[in-house]
Amino acid sequence: MFSPLRRTLPCLLLGPLLLAPTLARAAAPAAPSAAASSAAPSSATEEHPPLVVLDLAAQGSGAPEAQAATLGVVRGLRQLEVFQVLSADDVRQLLALERNRQLFGAEGSGNLQLSRALGAQHTVVGTLTRTGAGLSVELRLLDVSGGAVVSQQTYGPVPGLEQLAGVLPGLAQSLMAPLLRERQGSLLVHASEEGAEVLVDDALLGSTPLKAPLPLAQGVHRLVVRKDGFISQSAAVRIEPTQLARQEVTLLPSPDYAEAWHERHGRLRIGAYLATGAAVGALAGAYLLDQKSTAPLYRTEFHPRQLALAGGVPSPGELDAKAQAVYAACGQDETACRQKLDSLSGRLQRQQWGTAGLAVVGLGAGVTAAYLWLSGEDPNRYSGLVAGVGAGSGGPTLALGGQF
């Protein structure tokens, strides 16, 4: 009987021999010297250390679901461009075996033996579990030297694999955080809109404007900036250790949002113009009523009669020619003068109330106009650029329209 152990030992010896040429070809120059050729595998290992990702164990879920979840984990780790990620499929191809679990057994120690044979210091294992609530995933980063769990990430349950697929790459990258603390950089995002959500590897990290750069691990990360009413923008951002990466993002409004913006702020702008006109008109009316009607009436009609009935003597220059005539006439007929004075008093009082009322209306309209000017923005802000989705020969197509 050919035991699993007897099959394991030759493959543990053949694994590094099969893997070394691949690593050497990836790192060596086109025509290396003998010394460079011998050092190429070591250099490649130092720059991109191997990391083994084993198939997620299926618990209550199907093997195709576990395989698809494993591919999501591998994709997320390869996006970092820090490790040489070796999946179970890579291992099977290198060792020409049907399944690595059949080769090394189902025990965890066999997985660690495989990782050590490939020169990896860490390996990623996990489980995909289906319960009545849905699918959940658990990932563990193991130190192959002792089997200790370096970090662990869980997610779920979610209804199906579609919801899990978008999360797995970011979850796998978060799993590597303990290994990448010394290889961090930062990302500063500038967006054309305030209040836009900033997501990195499907994790919400803040909103614009960002108060400070976002610390991120070395590698390539998926940046998404989104806001209600706008077309979400995504980009692959490379982060280098101790370096600050800057990303400018222009969010394009949807046609419905642009139209609603134009209508709302157009109304505010019209209201601001009307309120400004009302304020100017009311204050101008108050000024004209006071200076062109009330003040002359008081100087030429009311004041001379008041002075005459009181027995006062006008000082030089106090009364103009018209006022002096009224003063003299009032001395001849005091009864008629007093009746006219009472009539003028009521008229002046009404005009003063009218002036005060216009001033109050003008001030209120001025406050309203200031509020409308400050709360409203340019209604044509998005008239020059609008994003939409239309049907093309190859499927949905993003279209940009407007005046450029």
225 class by beta-carbon count within 10 Å (0-12 exposed, 13-18 middle, 19+ buried): buried
Provide the pLDDT confidence category of residue 380 given band limits of 50, 70 and 90: confident
Type of residue at 16 = P
pLDDT at 22 over 50: no
Which region among 89-93, 150-154, 296-300 has the lowest average model confidence (pLDDT)?
89-93
**198 Cβ neighbours under 8 A, 6+ residues apart:** 189, 191, 204, 205, 206, 207, 208, 210, 214, 223, 224, 225
Tens-digit pLDDT profile for residues 260-294 = 888 888 888 899 999 999 999 999 999 999 999 99
pLDDT at 229 over 80: yes
**pLDDT at position 21, please?**
40
Strand-pairing partners, residue 245, are 187
pLDDT at 146 over 70: yes
Which region among 24-33, 45-54, 179-188 has the lowest average model confidence (pLDDT)?
24-33
Tell me how long the chain is: 404
**pLDDT at position 102, please?**
53
pLDDT at 132 over 90: no
Average pLDDT over residues 335-363: 92
What tokens does 273 get? 């113009």
Average pLDDT over residues 96-101: 50
pLDDT at 51 over 80: yes
Which region among 159-173, 298-312, 383-397 has the lowest average model confidence (pLDDT)?
383-397
Average pLDDT over residues 368-393: 72
Type of residue at 392 = G
Cite the DSSP H helix spans in 97-215.
100-104, 108-117, 161-165, 168-175, 177-180
8 A C-beta contact, residue 201 and residue 173: yes
Which region among 59-68, 85-94, 113-122, 241-250 has the lowest average model confidence (pLDDT)?
113-122
Check residue 90 and report its DSSP letter: H
Strand-pairing partners, residue 397, are 390
Tens-digit pLDDT profile for residues 166-214 = 888 888 888 888 887 777 889 999 998 999 999 988 789 999 999 999 9
Determine the Cα–Cα distance for residues 120 and 104; give it in Å rounded to an integer: 16
**pLDDT at position 275, please?**
92
Percent of the chain past pLDDT 70, that is, above it, reads: 76
Smallest CA-to-CA distance from 222 within 177, 191, 187 is with: 187
pLDDT at 13 over 60: no
